[in-house]
């Protein structure tokens, strides 16, 4: 699914690629979720109506924390 015009505008503003060529020379589109996560990490704001990162349920882990 193509990125929205708003997301494409932000990727241009923050100079984020939305595709890359794999080892066989094929063009691969970056998933929307990845683009949103990168933009959020860079401090971008898409607008007040839609958050950049779609939150899922919190992850739970039974592993002990690293020391």
Q: Per residue in 17-62, pLDDT tens? A: 999 999 999 999 999 999 999 999 998 876 544 555 555 545 555 5
- The pLDDT assigned to 45 comes to 75
Burial of residue 8 (CB within 10 Å: 0-12, 13-18, 19+) is: middle
pTM: 0.64
What is the helix (H) or strand (E) element at residue 16, kind and residue range?
A: none
- The pLDDT assigned to 52 comes to 57
Count the Cβ atoms, other than its own, within 10 Å of residue 37: 14
- The pLDDT assigned to 62 comes to 54
**Cα-based distances in Å from 45 to 13, 28, 52:** 11, 25, 7
């Amino acid at each position: 699914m193509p990125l929205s015009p708003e997301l494409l505008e932000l990727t241009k503003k923050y100079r984020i690629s939305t595709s890359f060529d794999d080892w066989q020379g094929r063009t691969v589109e970056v998933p929307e979720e990845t683009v949103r996560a990168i933009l959020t990490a860079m401090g971008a704001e898409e607008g007040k109506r839609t958050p950049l990162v779609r939150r899922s349920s919190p992850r739970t882990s039974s592993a002990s924390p690293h020391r």
